[in-house]
Amino acid sequence: MKTNPLHKYLRDGSLPHFFCPGCGAAQVLNFFLVALNDLKMDLQKMVCIGGVGCTARIPVYLKVDALHGIHGRTLPWATGIKLTNPELKVVIFAGDGDAAAIGGNHLIQAARRNLDVTMIVVNNLTYGMTGGQVAPTTHKNLYSLTTPYGNPEPNFDLIKLIIAAGGTFASRWTTATPRQSINAIKKALQHKGFSFVEIVAQCPTYFGRKALKSGEPVQGLNWIKQNAYHTQKAETISDEEKIGKFELGNFIQMEAPVFMGSSYINHEDE
């Protein structure tokens, strides 16, 4: 009997999964499995961490040591694990609310320190698990459960935040760009230092119904496509045209000393 070669990375009996039909987080789980397989990663030397939210459920399905705890505290756990055992590959899965709201300060500090972990943020522009409230990444004027007249606030640009804070790898793609997303995850897993991958994803259950007036996953994907542009085309687009749109690409990849608690090390000296 043939089985999908990626099943070997999943916990026995973990399927069917928790995600809503058409959820982008499930696609990101698949992207991660493909990246693991392509890189032949040793799961015995990996720890995956999730907090609270739809994306935070991803580690539950992986056949790795995993930590699933409270909202917004993924990076403090990652810091403790990495400093205790630097040989481990530590991967955090977080939603945009988990990462940029209650966990926002931890995100800034991890990037500033250049902590040697990988963080994958699935940005569906909403608090999906808790009912569709407005999130720090929700674009201005979009509707949500808690902004029935439109979001009055500007949104966080997570990539700009990471670069400004000192992160050494930052990349943004979408569920509509699977190959680029997989390649970004592979680069992040091989990077020494704080590597951050943001994947903009559809949430048909809440963001779709509230902001797009449709719970159809395909419409969510099409909306993302229509509101995204590659960084190579940034100079050909006016500032007004960029408002409310996602700039996609690999924005930064550089070498810098890695945080090791009481000291820093240059990875080329390892």
3 inside domain: no
Pick the more confident residue, 2 or 146.
146
Q: What range does the domain containing 222 cover?
A: 22-257
10 inside domain: no
- Whether the predicted pLDDT of 268 surpasses 60: no
Q: Are 31 and 61 in contact (CB under 8 A)?
A: no
Q: Are 209 and 144 in contact (CB under 8 A)?
A: no
pLDDT score, position 216:
94
Helix axes 158-165, 104-113, angle to 10 degrees: 40
222 CB-contact burial (10 Å; exposed 0-12 / middle 13-18 / buried 19+): middle
Alpha helices in 156-203 (DSSP H): 158-165, 178-190
Tell me the pLDDT tens digit for each residue of 89-140. 999 999 998 899 888 899 999 999 999 999 999 999 998 878 889 999 999 9
Tell me the pLDDT tens digit for each residue of 244-266. 899 999 999 999 999 887 677 77
- Whether the predicted pLDDT of 12 surpasses 90: no
2 inside domain: no
219 inside domain: yes
CATH of the domain at 233: 3.40.50.970
The pTM score is 0.94
Q: In the chain, how many domains are there?
A: 1
- Whether the predicted pLDDT of 270 surpasses 60: no
pLDDT score, position 164:
96
**Which residue is it, tokens 């991958």?**
197
